[in-house]
Chains A and B, each alone.
Chain A
């Protein structure tokens, strides 16, 4: 089993521009330290209709109402709302791409918090691309044709390898992604290597369970991280 950079095709080149958007790093940085409620705020505002911050402050009374006292949490809620509305104000296609890139960046940042995964500094913003956590990588196995789509995030630490795909919503769970993850796991096992396969979905577990229940592709051995359990990525 070995990891390899994905070929820089046209899609990858365009998407690299999205990933490099400062808004992606800003939002992911905020969400990495966010509470579950603040993450749901981001999910709602990024894909909502209104771009009026006052509306969202009403919708989330626990974050912005009288019970939310002034302080760092309230300030973070405001920052997350601001970043989310900046995403929402993009055109529909760009907004979808930016949302996806934010989930990937958030995933990378949380994974880098694992002991030994982030070169000590513990954050993507501090370390750049640490060698053990990478983006847009393929996994090659002897005698197996390489998958067309690279994995969004990989952990390439020997003995703790992991392939991670990221989705904005439960609807993004489909047979292709489940097969690709499970195939990688089984190919690794064939080479007597252990590869953890993980699907990160920025959506509620309940919605993911409904989607997964409709799939016939194997998912039993795939770790599914949802909006409620994102912090598990750091463990």
Chain B
């Protein structure tokens, strides 16, 4: 999703989800943590879906589109699976703050 297509809170969450999925794939490379990685990602996807359901139609705030693009780029630059696991928690916290939610 292009930056200019991010108009609503739902758009922001949808746009970020692809990068989050890629982050989870990278984190899965740590085989011992495979199920933790998936439980963690599912827990945060659930939280993001709750926000999208509740506030999805609200307009994204000023700078949110650019924030999502920069956050996604940051996540995609992570090549270390250990750091990717850490970022599976960080990424949604940052995204939720950007759209005006508490993590």
Contact = CB atoms under 8 A, between A and B. Distances in A.
A59 B40 contact: no
A209 B74 CA distance: 25
For the residues of A in contact with B, the DSSP-based class is helix
Interface in B84-103: 85-90, 93-94, 97-98, 100, 102-103
B70 interface: yes
A50 B94 CA distance: 15
Nearest to B60: A61
Given A59-B98, A206-B47, A228-B103, A47 B93 contact: no
A156 interface: no
Interface stretch (A19-27, A36-44, A78-86): A36-44
Contacts of B35: 214
A61 B61 contact: yes
Contact of B97 (A37, A67, A206): A37
Of B35, B43, B90, which is in contact with the most chain A CB atoms at under 10 Å from its CB?
Answer: B90
Nearest to B95: A59
B97 A60 contact: yes
Contacts of A36: 102
Given A43-B93, A47-B86, A59-B67, A210 B43 contact: yes
Nearest to B44: A206
A177 interface: no
Nearest to B100: A62
Interface of A: 36-37, 40, 43-44, 47-50, 55, 58-62, 65-67, 168-171, 203-204, 206-207, 209-211, 213-214, 227-228
